[in-house]
Amino acid sequence: MPSSTSNFKRILRLPRLFFRQPTEAESVHGGPPLEFERPIPQIPWRGITVIVVLFVIAAASAWEFYCRSIGYGPTLNDNEDLWTITRRRAQPESIVIIGDSRGWYDLDLDELQKGLGKRPVQLAMAGSCAYPVLADLADDKTFHGTIICSFVPGLFFAPPGTPPMERGEKAVRRSHTQSPAQRGSEYLAMPLEEHVAFLKQQDLTLEQLLKRLPIPNRLGALVPPRLPPYFGTVDRERRARMIEECARGGKLATTIQQIWLPIFTPPPPPSYVPKDVFMAKMKDAIEKRFGDTIAAVEKLRARGGKVVFVRLPVSGGLKALEDRTTPRDQTWDPLLQAAGAPGIYFEDFPELAGFNCPEWSHLSAGDSVEFSKRLVPHLRAALGM
Amino acid sequence: MLFNSLTFIVFFAVVVTLYWSIRSWNARKNLLVTASYIFYGAWNPPFAALLFSTTAMDFWLGRQIAKAKNRSSRRAWLVASVCMNLSMLGFFKYGNFLLENFQWLLARIEVIYHPPHLDILLPVGISFYTFHSLSYTLDIYRGVLQPTRSLRDFVLAVSFFPQLVAGPIVRAGDFLPQLVRPPRLRIGQFLWGLSLMTLGLFEKIVLADTMLAGSADRIFGYAGPLVALDSWLGVIAFAGQIFFDFAGYSTCAIGAALCLGFHLKDNFRFPYAAIGFSDFWRRWHISLSTFLRDYLYIPLGGNRVGWTRAAINLVIVMFLGGLWHGAAWTFVVWGLLHGSYLVIEHASRALIGERAWTENFAVKLLLGLVTYGAVCLAWVFFRASDFTIATRMLRGMFGGHPHGDAILATREMLQIGIVTFFMMLAHWSLRETNIETAVTRLPRWIVTAAWALMACAIILTQGSSNAFIYFQF
């Protein structure tokens, strides 16, 4: 090795070693075509491929047959790309439904179109907070239509960083950033999902199947609550309909009822935040949501837009839980008062109050049609039509 | 366009069919250029123009370097190319990072400055294609490559879609010779390419996204203190996730290129069976580590300039390697940690020398596990989005939160344990060989069953088109 002194000048003359002589292994363009060639395993590839293809076709067919035999049917997966495609349908004067899964399942587009004169654009999302979409529409200077906002207090006041907020934010973000490739994939996926029952991301992916394994958790482990299994279908307009098996009541509906209770029960304060600090933060977050909502509604109204809040039916133990944890006089009433917006609370009207939700949170497909028919006059009155 | 998307399946089927149906080699190359720009433009069409302009500039600069009569003008043209490429990378990738740090520095001397936040959208894969392109002018300058006369060939070398956005970093000197003569369609090669694509997708969709990503995300996203078990499992999950994610992409890229008759070198060689950190970097992201070695470490003097200077060179290279991954100090710390590991290893080798006991399998296994543990520690800084999270994680890992929370379900813990166990088993079994040799030696029925089961698992998993981690770099 040369001494550091004798090498000193050369070291400083950067990039000295760019002058390194090429090694023999480094070929020159135009030389032999390949200095490197990947080895290819010498095995009977044709035979193996035929067996693999036949096996995969057989396995996929068997899985499809099994899934249909246990009650699954083909339906679209609701995701940010389908939402974005639907969001693009919203015209400046459209009627748009936003909010949670109750707005998604309980409102029938045909009945609303008949009653309101325009076919609404369905932008409500399961388990999501309405605010990010409301704010996005308020910021969309071209939009001056009508918003029907489904209101579930636990979701509407979900603080930033929680799954309901993130769901809404993710969809809005995708609508601003969707690439041509993402749009293309969604258009290719739709016909497949309309014909193949096992393509059900909510329920039949490997991840979801693993989640169903009955493995007990450690004592005190803070594991997220289980989400409900498949109980509805979605079409290209994002109209959700409860499947018959769930609408009939019985085991599926009962299972889902028991899943809603932990999901809608407010979580305890995290172990690492003192209770009073946590409660103060929650109070601030709720107050901020009030303020932000009012600002968004005013922005829309200033352009001639309209917003109507709707509290859709809820039943059984879930209704008792919601009434207890998010009472009307602390959520619904102050929001309407502060926003100065009209609202329709299903319990205020006998013709809307008599519906039963089979799994406590959503109306059956048949009931959603009747409910929407009965809701139309109230919507017209609220919107001054 | 993601490999794990329906758009890509259709795109690839169309490209492969057309490619092998066309007789003219020129027309086939034109098709590949068009396909590559469609592939890239499907993310954000305007960025395709940026890609082309960088490529065209380097093509022209490469010719200027070759034409230059004396060393100083050759160097000037090279400096122009390096500046052009690095300033492009700097603007898009490090613009806001530099401004924020400038603001922080001014604040130290009590100058309040509020720079405008530049709303810069990072072009996908800019770090990769910049290096593809830069390797061309660097190699011409070094005299190991002659400039190509065909702009189209160079455009294809830089933008060839399998390796365009997340590597491997294919040097122009490795790719351009493959454009001289048309490859022949060989069924074995084509089907091996398809099976590699299946393996890559299996690694990404099933192992990285389904089995590990959820746990790693929850652990690193948790705002509170965690018990040691959960902290360690989160880091181990991420170690597996990033390997399967990135190695999966590289394997797909190699497979897709093979289907089109092109040969890309390995980017990973069972890195978690590495014994020592030099060995690790000969096995992990090989195309980047060799790029940094040839174009940075060796020009700095490499290890021929005395021990101290070589150690400094290693740290400089790993510092820049860390920064290459992302515009954040956490990446720098990750790089510096690896630089320190390498320095410690070199020092240990110098002290201990070649001893017979170091060849003992148990010692090798122990050293391998120590390497894996140290690599996992460094991953904490790579994955954590800030130092608060990294510190909290490290504290949890070393028992700093005995009463912390446990947030992983038993199922998740089992998934991490089982996948990591089999990953380590595979890496240690194959560390002295390669996948082609292993496939050749395995009974046919095992190869068939493995391929079929991987394909079924991909279909069952469905995938939700999650982006590959390395796209952000």
Whether the CB of B43 is below 8 Å from some CB of chain A: the reply is yes
The C-alpha atoms of residue B28 and residue B19 are separated, in whole angstroms, by 6
| Beta pairing partners, A306 | A146
B25/A225: higher pLDDT:
B25
Do A116 and A376 contact (CB within 8 A), yes or no?
A: yes
Residue B268, φ and ψ in degrees, nearest 5: -140, 140
Name the least confident of A139-143, A327-331, B81-85, B114-118: B114-118
d(CA A60, CA A54): 10
Spatial CA neighbour of B367 closest among B339, B348, B350, B384? B348
Instruction: Give me the residue from B178, B302, B444 closest to A48, CB to CB.
Output: B444
Render pLDDT for A103-149 as a digit per residue (tens, 0 to 9): 999 999 999 999 999 999 999 999 999 999 999 999 999 999 999 99
| Average pLDDT of chain A, as a whole number | 88
Does the pLDDT of residue B421 top 70, yes or no?
A: yes
Q: Between chains, do B461 and A188 touch, taking CB under 8 Å as contact?
A: no
Q: What pLDDT, on a 0 to 100 scale, did the predictor assign at position A21?
A: 45
Torsion sign (Cα): B298, B299, B303, B304: positive
The partner residues of A311 in beta bridges, in order of sequence, read A345
Residues of B with catalytic roles: 325
CA-CA distance, A63 to A66, in Å (whole number)? 5
The residue type found at B432 is E
Q: Are B228 and B399 in contact (CB under 8 A)?
A: yes
CB contact under 8 A, A17 and B451: no
Which tens digits make up the pLDDT trace of B205-247?
999 999 999 999 999 999 999 999 999 999 999 999 999 999 9
* Rounded Cα distance, A137 and A133, in Å: 6
pLDDT at B465 over 70: no
Query: Which pair of tokens denotes residue A213?
Result: 């394994």
Distance between CA atoms of A147 and B101, rounded to whole angstroms?
44
Closest C-alpha among B299, B290, B250, B300 to residue B270 = B250
Give yes or no for a contact between B261 and B248, defined as CB atoms under 8 angstroms apart.
Answer: no
CA distance A201 to chain B (A): 7
B455 chain-A contacts, CB cut-off 8 A = 52, 56
pLDDT score recorded for residue B463: 64
**Hey, CA dihedral for B107, B110, B112, B116, is it positive or negative?**
negative
Tens of pLDDT, residues A9-40:
333 333 333 334 444 433 333 333 346 788 89
Among B241, B206, B187, B188, which Cα is nearest to B455's? B206
- The answer, for A31 touching chain B at a CB cutoff of 8 Å, is yes
Q: Are B456 and A215 an interchain contact pair (Cβ–Cβ within 8 Å)?
A: no
Q: Are B299 and A15 in contact (CB under 8 A)?
A: yes
pLDDT, tens digit (0-9, with 9 covering 90-100), for A61-88: 999 999 999 989 999 999 999 999 999 9
Cis peptide before A164 (omega within 30 of 0): no
Number of C-beta neighbours around residue A376 at 10 A:
18
pLDDT exceeds 60 at position A7: no
> How long a stretch of residues is chain A?
385
Q: Is the pLDDT of residue A261 over 70?
A: yes
Q: What distance in Å separates the CA atoms of residue B323 and residue A228, rounded to the nearest whole number? A: 43
B164/B324 Cα distance (integer angstroms): 16
A234 near A358, Cβ under 8 Å? no
The residues, ordered by sequence, that sit 6+ positions from B452 with a Cβ below 8 Å of its Cβ are A51, A52, A55, A56, A59
- What pLDDT does A6 receive? 37
**pLDDT value at B337 more than 60:** yes
Query: Which one-letter amino acid corresponds to residue B389?
Result: I
3-state secondary structure of A178: coil
**Could you report the predicted ipTM of this complex, rounded to two decimals?**
0.86
Which residue in A338, A341, A314 sits closest to A326, CA to CA? A314
For residue A42, the SS3 value is coil
pLDDT at residue B144, rounded to an integer: 87
The yes-or-no verdict on residue B326 having pLDDT over 90 is no
Give A240's strand partners: A234
What is the pLDDT at residue B350?
A: 83
**Residues A357/A316, Cβ–Cβ less than 8 Å:** yes
* 8 A C-beta contact, residue B446 and residue A49: no
- Amino acid B89: pLDDT: 86
Q: Is A302 on the interface with B (CB under 8 A)?
A: no
Q: Which of B331, B315, B322 is nearest to B387 (CA)?
A: B331
pLDDT higher than threshold 70 for residue B166: yes
The structure's pTM equals 0.88
And the tokens for B401? 């939160």
Chain B, 376 to 415: residues with Cβ < 8 Å from chain A are 404-411, 414-415
pLDDT at A217: 92
Per-residue model confidence (pLDDT) at position B462: 81
Closest approach of chain B CAs to the CA of A315, in angstroms? 31
Q: What is the DSSP letter of A220?
A: T
Share of chain B above pLDDT 90, in %: 68
Question: Which residues in chain B are closer than 8 Å to A35, comparing Cβ atoms?
Answer: 177
Quote the CA–CA distance of A294 and B198 in Å, as a whole number: 52
In what side-by-side order are the strands of the sheet with A343-345? A121-122, A95-98, A146-150, A306-311, A343-345
Q: Which candidate, B86, B50, B60, B67, places its Cα nearest to that of B295?
A: B86
Give the span between the Cα atoms of B178 and A34, in whole angstroms. 6
Q: What is the pLDDT of residues B387-409, one digit of tens each?
A: 999 999 999 999 888 889 999 99
CA distance B459 to B456: 5
User: Do the chains contact at B440 and A192, CB–CB below 8 Å?
Assistant: no
Q: Cβ contact (<8 Å) for B436 and A40?
A: yes
Would you call A27 and B177 a contact, using CB atoms and an 8 Å cutoff?
Answer: yes
Classified as helix, coil or strand, A308 is strand
How near does any CA of chain B get to the CA of A356, in Å?
A: 35
Cβ–Cβ gap A189/B6 under 8 Å: yes
Helix (H) / strand (E) element for A326: namely none
Distance from CA of B108 to the nearest CA of A (A): 32
Please say whether the beta carbons of B219 and B234 come within 8 A: yes
Pairing of strands A232-234, A240-242: antiparallel
Q: What spatial distance separates the first Cα and last Cα of chain A, rounded to whole Å?
A: 91
Residues A290-323: pLDDT tens digits? 999 999 999 999 999 999 999 999 999 999 999 9
Distance CA B20, CA B33 (A): 15
Find the residue in B nearest to A57 (Cα): B456
Do residues B204 and B189 make contact, with C-beta atoms less than 8 angstroms apart?
no
State the CB neighbour count (10 A cutoff) for residue A138: 23
Query: Do the chains contact at B187 and A217, CB–CB below 8 Å?
Result: no
Which pLDDT score, from 0 to 100, does residue B99 have? 82
Provide, as residue numbers in chain A, all residues whose Cβ is less than 8 Å from the Cβ of B6.
184-185, 188-189, 192
Contact present, B167 and B222 (Cβ < 8 Å)? no
3-state secondary structure (DSSP) of residue A143: coil
Q: Where are the alpha helices (DSSP H) in B353-443?
A: 361-383, 387-397, 410-430, 435-441
B78 reaches A (C-beta below 8 A):
yes
Single out the residue of B418, B398, B420, B421 nearest to residue B410, CA to CA.
B418
Residue B343: pLDDT band with limits 50, 70, 90: very high
Q: Single out the residue of A39, A31, A45 nearest to residue B263, CA to CA.
A: A39
Task: Let me know: does B166 contact B470? Beta carbons within 8 Å.
Answer: yes
